[in-house]
Structure 1
Amino acid sequence: MSGNSTNSCIDALDPSNRFLVSSVVYGLVLAVGLPLNAVSLWILLRSHGLRSPCAVLMVNLAVSDLLLVLSLPLRVYFYATLQWPFGVGTCTAAILLFRVNIRTSCIFITLISVDRLLALVFPLRSRSLRTTACACKCCVAVWILITILCIPEILHLRSKLKKCPNYTPCFEFQVLAKGSPTSAIAQATFILILLVVNIVSTVVVIVALSKRPSTGAAKINNKMNVILIFAVNMLVFIIFFLPFTIILLIKTQDKEGQILRGLICLASVNCCLDPLIYYFSLDSFWQDKGKRQTDVGTYSLSRTMERS
C-alpha cells in the first residue's frame, strides 16, 4: 500500500482479509440494525408518539441510528470491492453520517439517563422540566449544534479528498489520515463528560432504589428494568464509544490503521444495541396507545416513589 502522509492519497488498495472482515461486519450491522431500528421507530411513533420526553429522545436516537445504517451499504461496497465510483460528495456525506451518529447517540443516550434519573429520584420537582416541549427543544438544539460542528469537517474532508486525483480512498481516508489533535482532544473531552454524567446518574439511581421497598414481583421487575436501562447505556458508552475516543487521542500515523479501522467497525455496532434501551425504558413497548399508560419508563415505580 503506497500512501501520502499529508492527505492519505493512495494509488490503490491491495486486497486483504482485513478489508473483507470490515465488509462482513458492516453487512451484519446493516442486516440487524436496519430492521431493528426501523421497527423500533415505527413502534415508538405508532404506540407512543411524541407524548412524553423519553419517547421524544428515543425517536431522535432511532433516527440517528437509521441515518448511520442507511450509509452502511456504501461501506460494504467499498470494502468488498475496494472501489469508489460515487464521487467525493457521497464519500464525505457517508463519513459525516458516522460522526453525526456517534455524537448524537452519546448525547441522546445521556439525556435519556438524565430523564430517567429525574423521573425516579425527583418525580415531583422535575415535572416542569420533564415536558415534551422541553425534550423537543433539546433535540432540535442537539441537531443544530452537531450540524454546525460538522460544517468545518465537511469542508476539510472535501478539500482533502479532491486532492486525490487517481483514486478516492474514501473510508480508508478516515482511517489513514492524521486528524487534528485539537479536534481529537475536544471529542474525547466531550465523550468523557457524557460518560461521567451517565456514571453519576447510575450511582444516584442505584442508591435511591436501594432505599425503596422492593416487596412484590411487580416492584422488583420495575427495579430490574430501571437498572437494565442504565446498564445498557453504560455498556454502549464503555464498549462502543470510549475505545474509539481513546484511540483518537493516542493514535500515531499507523500506515495500516488496523486498530482504528476495527474500532470504527465496533462503534457502528452501537445502533444494534440501542433498541434495548427502548424496550426497557418504555412501559408496554409493544402495546397500542389505548392499552398502555401514557407516561414512560417504570411508571409504576415512579408513582410508588412519589407516595413514599
Structure 2
Amino acid sequence: MFGLLLLGALVLGLIPAGSTRTPSIYDELLENGSASGTDDKTVGPRPCPRSFAGQVCANDSTILLLPNSSKALLLGWVPTCLVPAIYSLALVLGLPANGLALWVLATRVPRLPSTLLLINLAAADLMLGLALPPRIAYHVRGQRWPFGETACRLATSALYGHMYCSLLLLTAVALDRYLAVVHPLRSRALRGLRLATALCATAWLVAAALALPLALQRQTFWLAGDGAAGRLLCHDALPLDAQLSHSRPAFACLALLGCFAPLLVVTLCYGAMLRALAASGRPHSHALRLAALVLASALAFFVPSNVLLLLHYSDPRPGARGDLYAAYLPSLALSTLNSCVDPFIYYYVSADFREKVRRALGRPAQGLAGHTSKASGEEGAGAGSHTRSTSQV
C-alpha cells in the first residue's frame, strides 16, 4: 500500500517546493566562512556535530546548515555510490524473485492459512522493491531529491513500512509454524484462515502505524552553502530540535517494536519447535537448517541498522555519537536485501513450491517425492492431515 501511494505521487509529477530558489544571504555567509565554524550571529549558533542534525537558517526554515564533517560524509562515496549499489542489487534480485513467488503462491499453491501468510510476505517484499527506484535516483544524483516533499514523505514511509512489515510477517509465519509443530492437536481449530487473516492484518496495521510519523513530518530541506543550483535532501538531514522531539521516539518505536520484539518472538518460536521435534524423536535436521537460515538472514540484515538507530538516538548530548548516521545509511540499504532472501526460503523449505516454480519455468521436477516426504515427516506430521508441507517457514 505504501508503494502504490508512492507511485501515485510520482505519476502526478510532483516537483520540489521552491525549486526556483535563488541564493540567499545565508548562502553568501556560508561561502564567507560561517560553515567552517566561525561565529556569526546572523545565522545562529553552529549545530552540534551529532549525526546529520542541522541548524535551521534564521531567514529560511527550509535550509539547513551542516558541519563540514557531516556534509563531507553525506556527499561522499558511501551514500552516492555504495548505498545506491546495494539498493539496485535488492531491486534486481528481489523484484523478479518476489514477483515469481507471489504469482506461484497466489495461483499455483493450495489456499491454506500458511499460504495466505506467505502471499502477504511476498507482497510486502515486492512493494519494498517498488519503493527503491526513487531512493536510487536520489543517491545517484548526489543526494538531490527531484520529486518534491510529498513524494519524499511517501518514499521514506514506504521504505521503512514495507521493510518492517516483512519482518512482522516473518514473525506471523513463525507463530503459525510454532502452533503446527508444538501444539498440533490444540491448534487444529485455531489455525485457520481467520487466524492467518488476523495475523496479516495486524502486521500491516502495525507497520503502517510505525511508519506514519515519517509521513507526518517534513522530510526535505535544502543544504546550505550549496550554491544557486541547490541540493534538496530527502530525510538525510533534519533540524536538531525535530530529531529530539519527533524522530527519536518514532525511530525508537521502529527499532523496538518493528525489529527487536519480532526477532525475539521468531527466536522463541523456532527454539520451541526444535525442542518439540527433538523430544518427539522425529527427525529435525531440516527444521534446524531452516531455523538457522531464517534467523541468520534476519540478524544479518536487520540488527546492524536497528542497533545503529538506537545508538544514534540514545544520547542527545552534542557530539555524543558524532556522524554515526553515515554508518547507518549503508546498513539501512543492507536491510532491504532481506527481501531477496525470503523467496529462496520458500524454495528451500517447500517441496510444493519448488515443484510449482520448476513447472512455471518449464523445468522437469526431479526427486520431489523424497523432498515432500522429508519435509512432511520433520515438520508437518504433527500438524494434522489438513496441513501439508506447502509452507514450512
TM above 0.5: yes
Q: Greater share of strand residues, 1 or 2? A: 2
Distance across 1 between alignment mates of 2:211 and 2:348: 32
For residues 184 and 145 of structure 1, do their structure 2 counterparts lie closer, same or farther at Cα, with a shift above 3 Å needed? closer
Aligned to 2:253: 186
User: Which whole-Å deviations, capped at 9, do the CAs of 1:103-131 have from their partners, x for residues lacking one?
Assistant: 21121111111111111121111111111
Alignment of structure 1 residues 13-28 onto 2, 5 Å = 16-18=76-78, 19-28=80-89
2:358 corresponds to 1:299? no
**C-alpha contact 2:172 2:199 (8 A) present in aligned 1:** no
Match of 2:162 among 76, 101, 108: 101
Match of 1:33 among 94, 105, 110: 94
For residues 255 and 298 of structure 1, do their structure 2 counterparts lie closer, same or farther at Cα, with a shift above 3 Å needed? same
**C-alpha contact 2:97 2:340 (8 A) present in aligned 1:** yes
Aligned to 1:169: 233
Aligned to 1:9: 64
Residue aligned with 2:185, SS: coil
Alignment of structure 1 residues 215-234 onto 2, 5 Å = 220=283, 223-234=284-295
Residue aligned with 1:261, SS: helix
Aligned to 1:74: 134
Aligned to 1:88: 149
Distance across 2 between alignment mates of 1:144 and 1:61: 14
Residue aligned with 1:125, SS: coil
Distance across 1 between alignment mates of 2:262 and 2:205: 18
Superposition deviation, residue 32 in structure 1: 0.8
**C-alpha contact 1:113 1:233 (8 A) present in aligned 2:** no
**C-alpha contact 2:301 2:338 (8 A) present in aligned 1:** yes
Supply the AA of the counterpart residue of 2:300: I
Aligned to 1:217: none
Aligned to 2:13: none
Distance across 1 between alignment mates of 2:306 and 2:379: 35
Distance across 2 between alignment mates of 1:133 and 1:71: 30
2:113 corresponds to 1:53? yes
**C-alpha contact 1:104 1:146 (8 A) present in aligned 2:** yes
Distance across 2 between alignment mates of 1:241 and 1:115: 22
Distance across 2 between alignment mates of 1:26 and 1:208: 39
Distance across 2 between alignment mates of 1:55 and 1:48: 7
Alignment of structure 1 residues 112-127 onto 2, 5 Å = 112-127=173-188
Supply the AA of the counterpart residue of 1:250: L
Superposition deviation, residue 86 in structure 1: 1.2
**C-alpha contact 2:219 2:234 (8 A) present in aligned 1:** no
Q: Greater share of helix residues, 1 or 2? A: 1
For residues 173 and 269 of structure 1, do their structure 2 counterparts lie closer, same or farther at Cα, with a shift above 3 Å needed? farther
Residue identity over aligned pairs, in percent, reads 25
Deviates more, 1:57-66 or 1:1-10: 1-10
Superposition deviation, residue 261 in structure 1: 0.8
Distance across 1 between alignment mates of 2:304 and 2:182: 31
**C-alpha contact 1:244 1:260 (8 A) present in aligned 2:** yes
Supply the AA of the counterpart residue of 1:170: C
Supply the AA of the counterpart residue of 1:5: G
Aligned to 1:262: 330
**C-alpha contact 2:127 2:162 (8 A) present in aligned 1:** yes
User: Which whole-Å deviations, capped at 9, do the CAs of 1:14-53 have from their partners, x for residues lacking one?
Assistant: 853212111212111111111111111111112225x212
In structure 2, list runs of 5 or more residues that go unmatched.
1-29, 36-51, 57-62, 225-229, 313-319, 358-364, 385-393
Distance across 2 between alignment mates of 1:84 and 1:301: 51
**C-alpha contact 2:286 2:378 (8 A) present in aligned 1:** no
For residues 181 and 257 of structure 1, do their structure 2 counterparts lie closer, same or farther at Cα, with a shift above 3 Å needed? closer
Length, aligned pairs only: 295
Higher Rg: 2
- Cα RMSD of the aligned pairs, angstroms, is 3.4
